[in-house]
Homo-oligomer: A and B are copies of this chain.
Amino acid sequence: MIVFFTHTATHAQIAEMQLHLKQLGFDSQLVPGQNICLVHKLKDEQLLANFPFVSHTQIISSSYQLASNAYKTETNFQVNGIQIGTHFANIIAGPCSVENEKQIFETAAFLAKNNIKFIRGGAYKPRTSPYSFRGLGKDGLKLLHEAAKTYQLNVVTELMDLSLLDEVAQYTDIIQIGSRNMANFYLLGELGKINLPILLKRGMQANVNEFLLAADYILSGGNEKVILCERGIRSFDPMSRNVMDVGVIPLIQSLSHLPIMADPSHGTGDAKFVNALAKASLVAGANGLMVEIHPNPKLALSDANQALTFEAFEQLLSDIELLKPTIQKPIDATYSILV
């Protein structure tokens, strides 16, 4: 049960209520900044009758609570003046890894020229093999940040471990949580306490319920700025790296108020098919795309097969133009336009 408080409810009053519930056997959890409290297993709102500062209650039948669209119907927020959310679509592009100054500045310049607002790039890379290139670390973060700010782009980069949070937070506008960390619940809990948007990628074997519960880990800490991202699931066919679950986009939109983007680069693992899956995802309702591009994909130090060339990315952008009547969501809208 979600318990909503009146604006005048005090911390002391709420704590008293929580103690009362605890004595009845119900654990509860205050959501910082939201004026609500989650009370687990409670079904009978009569037990709260004596607490006048309780304005109303809500029972949500799914196991996920705050990610449910029964709790809230939409999530929209801005990042440095750019709108993100249920009503919008955004394009995030950049290399898998930050490799050197030339590569990342060239990419940033190219994105700015094409009016893109978000650059991605990995500084700490989760690689299946310990013997693969693992990223430039802090130097990569700095280069990415510098290139982005030179061209007025916003940064999206991955946080691999909680011990790197302060370092990463300093250089990014959105924190990306990769597929392998989607079920790293301790990390997710800590991300609920900060004030940066979180782009949460679906685990490669996570079902929808688990994905939305992972979002609840962040949301129940008080951080409302969560963006989901489908990036392909693992299947039985070794012919493709992953299977892009395009259908999960409208499915999640029917269950949750959170925006959901699509990463067709990982979704297919092959640059040849990124254009088709990028368009398919947008047409299916995605709130944006995360696409890997590289000035020279053949020389990329990671995920070389799936990065688009600049030319292929520009082709995708022009293909998306044709889809705008179908997409019906502004892409990379700036805040001023919408006020």
| Residue positions of A touching B, CB distance < 8 A | 29, 38, 40, 63-65, 124, 126-131, 134, 160-164, 180-181, 183-189, 204-205, 207-210, 213, 216-217, 220, 233-240, 243-251, 254, 267-268, 270, 272-273, 276-277, 279-281, 283-285, 319, 322-323, 325-326
Known A164-B186, A207-B238, A250-B273; further 11 A-B contacts with Cβ < 8 A: A126-B183, A130-B213, A130-B217, A134-B185, A208-B239, A239-B251, A240-B248, A243-B243, A251-B270, A279-B283, A283-B283
Closest Cβ–Cβ distance, residue A92 to chain B (whole Å):
20
Partner of A325, one of B245, B267, B322: B322
Closest Cβ–Cβ distance, residue A49 to chain B (whole Å):
23
Provide the residues of chain B in CB contact with A326, threshold 8 Å. Answer: 279, 319, 322-323
Q: How far is the CA of A276 from the CA of B281 in the complex (A)?
A: 9
A280-B273 contact, Cβ under 8 Å, with A63-B129, A213-B128, A247-B243: no
Partner of A205, one of B29, B184, B213, B234: B234
Provide the residues of chain B in CB contact with A285, threshold 8 Å. Answer: 276
Provide the residues of chain B in CB contact with A207, threshold 8 Å. Answer: 236-239
Closest to A252 in B: B239
Provide the residues of chain B in CB contact with A216, threshold 8 Å. Answer: 129-131
Closest Cβ–Cβ distance, residue A127 to chain B (whole Å):
7
Closest Cβ–Cβ distance, residue A15 to chain B (whole Å):
19
Provide the residues of chain B in CB contact with A251, threshold 8 Å. Answer: 239-240, 268, 270, 273
Are B128 and A210 in contact (CB-based, < 8 A)? yes
Partner of A250, one of B209, B236, B276: B276
A-B pairs with beta carbons under 8 Å apart, 5 shown = A38-B131, A160-B185, A163-B186, A164-B186, A244-B247
